[in-house]
Structure 1
Amino acid sequence: MKKILLLSVMLLVGVMTYAQQALWGGAPVVSPEIHDDNTVTFRLKAPKAVKVQVTGDFLPTQKITTPFGEFDGPGVADLKEGKDGVWEYTTPEPLAPELYSYSFIVDDLKMMDPANVYMIRDVATVTNVFLIGGGRADLYKVNDVPHGTVSRIWYNSPTLKKERRLTVYTPAGYETSGKRYPVFYLLHGMGGDEEAWIALGRTSQILDNLIAQGKAEPMIVVMTNGNASQEAAPGESQDGFKAPSMNLPQTMEGSFETAFPDVVKFIDKTYRTKTNKRNRAIAGLSMGGYHSLHISKQYPDMFNYVGLFSAAIMPDKKVQSPIYDDFDQKLKTQFAKKPALYWIGIGKTDFLYQANTEYRKLLDERGYKYTYYESEGGHIWRNWRIYLTEFAPLLFK
């Protein structure tokens, strides 16, 4: 009887193991494997492949030319085929603490790592991600601290004549404290949407950690959709599963800036906010920095803190909108009201570096005070996460 029972158990274990292998496509391959010294090994089982490569931002960058300018793109490294058709690549040096993205290229076909379920979308590109902890990157991790709440909420924009979606972070304790909070409006770049900062920017993790450490004031963070033609992020609106695109109408021609008071009014009505200039901040990356610049000067009594992260500065010469008229006078009015912080951050190899240098020269010539932060690298999320960790602790002091 015992032998029969033992045989039955062994048979059951065998069936379960086979079922799991069938479900997951065979014996597991560990990838990426982060070693104790912070070198990382990538593996892919592809016995019929001729060539396998890995591409990602952990590799030396390469220049990529696009219609929007020249960008720092991810490098490429070759994997070597080993036993049982498992291809492998280990970084020659330890990786610095950071959130990294990568994907495989198999015989010229780009694909995700089937061993890694963690993926993020950036506009129309999906990549796998992994995190090397330590230093500033510990702010990007979910740590044992009180956590805020992230909500997707719809509002009506009378100016744009449509319902639109926001992503809103409320700090730990908001639901029960009864307190009122300052508000930080955080804007994405071209091709992004209200999901960009929460996914790629690690906003909730950064704010949770900074607030828990006492380095940032508890605040509400509002992440808008800066594409005035959209209701919401791709796949989250009546447009259905429409392909994400950077070529959208109504992005940098004044519509979003004109309609921005609709967002502020909704947030002040819906959340327990401190409804004055002293308790409002606005910042954004690239196109979002452009929006932040022009919104803050258009409504000089609305924001006391302004952040331009790798910002585009001036509109195309063909663009006509009252938002961009009287630029010099509006800027003069804004700085005459003495904003508590006007913060500019840019990477040394960013394609917008020269535009930011010229804008800073203009501010210098007119005696307008600002804080400047220069980092390594170009127009990349690695920099924008850094800027958020530098900017947020300066707010509402």
Structure 2
Amino acid sequence: MKRFTILAAALLMCVATFAQEALWGIGPLVSPEIYDNNTVLFRLRAPKAVKVQITGDFLPKQKVKTPNGEYEIPGIVDLTEGKDGVWEYTTPEPLKPELYSYSFIVDGLRMNDPANIYLIRDVATLTNVFIIGGDRADLYKVNQVPHGTVSRIWYNSPTLGMERRMTVYTPAGYETDGKRYPVFYLLHGMGGDEEAWISLGRTAQILDNLIAQGKAKPMIVVMTNGNASQEAAPGESSLGMMPPSMQLPKTMEGSFEQAFPDVVKFIDKNYRTIKNKSGRAIAGLSMGGFHALHISKQYPDMFNYIGLFSAAILPNKNVVSPIYEDLEGKLRTQFAKKPSLYWIAIGKTDFLYKANEDFRKLLDENGYKYTYYETDEGHIWKNWRIYLSEFAPLLFK
């Protein structure tokens, strides 16, 4: 009987150990492993694999041609198999400070790193992420500074006829200080939603750090869902767990722009805001830049600060909407009212570079003042985080 009790206890200990490993994901591999010199080692245990590769934005870009133009995509490199079926790859050079994303490719199948729990969704793609600290990348980290609050808020849009969700950042102290704050409306790109800027763009971390450093004014940041047919991000609406998609209706045909005053009215009613043009800014990336351009010219008394990040400029030729009529006339009215800042930023290899160049020529020909900021690389979150960290300190001065 004593022997049976000891055996049973041993079995229970084994079961408990395995249960805890399953529960907590404990494993012997470390991946990625960031060395002191900022080289990075990636590991994957795959003893039956024939070929293991890694793709990520820390690798040299590859150019691909599509019917819609030439694009850059992250490079791909092979891992080397070592002992016990563990495959490894070490970056040949130290990585510069940045937030990086990556995935493994095992015998042609893309997969995430099981040793790295940190993932970000971009539309329908999940990728692992890690941060190399230092320089600007320290803005993307959670540091020991006062932290703002991030809320998911539902509001009613009479124009669209539905309840919709947005993400709102309020700065540290908002809940207790009784002050009124300026508002920065920050818009996502095609396929994104109200989660994009807060997760991929690191908005809360960037604003917390800039405000704590005295480089940006404390402000409310409102991140809307720019897809006018959606209540909220996939999985967060009454539609349930719908798959994310780039091909959504009512994105760039005027509905979102027409309904945007609903957002501003809700924020001004429910938050302590500065309820005039001097206390409002709007900016967005790609499709969000398109929205920012057309919303700001449609309502020229609403925003004093405008930012176009890698913006789409003109609507599809088949789109007919009063929002997009008389572009030059509406720009004339907008600039006659002298916005404090009109800021345009884009990467040198962005597929929208030519459209932005043409738009800047139009502004130049009419003597409209704007600020231009150019970076390397293309249509990527690395650039949009840079633009946010450069644009926010210019607001509400």
Give the shorter-chain TM-score range: over 0.9
Structure 2: runs of 5+ lacking an equivalent: 1-6
Corresponding residue for residue 354 of structure 1 = 354
Distance 1:286 1:67, change over 3 A: farther
Corresponding residue for residue 111 of structure 1 = 111
User: What CA distance in whole angstroms lies between the structure 1 residues aligned with 2:154 and 2:23?
Assistant: 38
Distance 1:343 1:25, change over 3 A: closer
How many pairs are equivalent? 392
Verify the 8 A CA contact 2:27 2:115 in the aligned structure 1: no
Corresponding residue for residue 4 of structure 1 = none
Structure 2 letter corresponding to 1:96: K
Deviation track 1:58-86 (CA, whole Å, cap 9, x = no partner) reads 10011244565432211111000101110
Deviation at 1:174, TM superposition (A): 0.2
Structure 2 letter corresponding to 1:339: P
Deviation at 1:96, TM superposition (A): 0.3
Deviation track 1:176-226 (CA, whole Å, cap 9, x = no partner) reads 000000000000000000000000000000000000000000000000000
User: What CA distance in whole angstroms lies between the structure 2 residues aligned with 1:68 and 1:289?
Assistant: 19
RMSD, matched Cα: 1.8
Corresponding residue for residue 101 of structure 1 = 101
Deviation at 1:306, TM superposition (A): 0.1
User: What CA distance in whole angstroms lies between the structure 2 residues aligned with 1:25 and 1:168?
Assistant: 33
Q: Which has the higher mean CA deviation after the structures are superposed, 290-299 or 24-33?
A: 24-33
User: What CA distance in whole angstroms lies between the structure 2 residues aligned with 1:137 and 1:25?
Assistant: 28
Do structure 1's residue 132 and structure 2's residue 132 form an aligned pair? yes
**SS class of match (1:59):** coil
Structure 1: runs of 5+ lacking an equivalent: 1-6
Structure 2 letter corresponding to 1:195: E
Distance 1:9 1:215, change over 3 A: farther
Deviation track 1:39-62 (CA, whole Å, cap 9, x = no partner) reads 000000000100000110010011
Percent identical residues: 80
Deviation at 1:274, TM superposition (A): 0.3
Distance 1:26 1:130, change over 3 A: closer
Distance 1:283 1:104, change over 3 A: same
Q: Which has the higher mean CA deviation after the structures are superposed, 27-36 or 170-179?
A: 27-36
Q: How does 1:134-173 map to 2 (within 5 A)?
A: 134-173=134-173
Q: Which has the higher mean CA deviation after the structures are superposed, 66-75 or 168-177?
A: 66-75
TM-score (norm 1): 0.95
Q: How does 1:252-263 map to 2 (within 5 A)?
A: 252-263=252-263
Corresponding residue for residue 386 of structure 1 = 386
Distance 1:23 1:261, change over 3 A: closer
User: What CA distance in whole angstroms lies between the structure 1 residues aligned with 2:329 and 2:209?
Assistant: 40
Deviation track 1:325-368 (CA, whole Å, cap 9, x = no partner) reads 11111000000000000000000000000000000011001000
**SS class of match (2:382):** helix
Distance 1:279 1:68, change over 3 A: farther
TM-score (norm 2): 0.95
Corresponding residue for residue 376 of structure 1 = 376
Verify the 8 A CA contact 2:56 2:102 in the aligned structure 1: yes
**SS class of match (1:152):** strand
**SS class of match (2:142):** coil
Deviation at 1:21, TM superposition (A): 4.4
User: What CA distance in whole angstroms lies between the structure 2 residues aligned with 1:229 and 1:65?
Assistant: 31
Structure 2 letter corresponding to 1:310: S
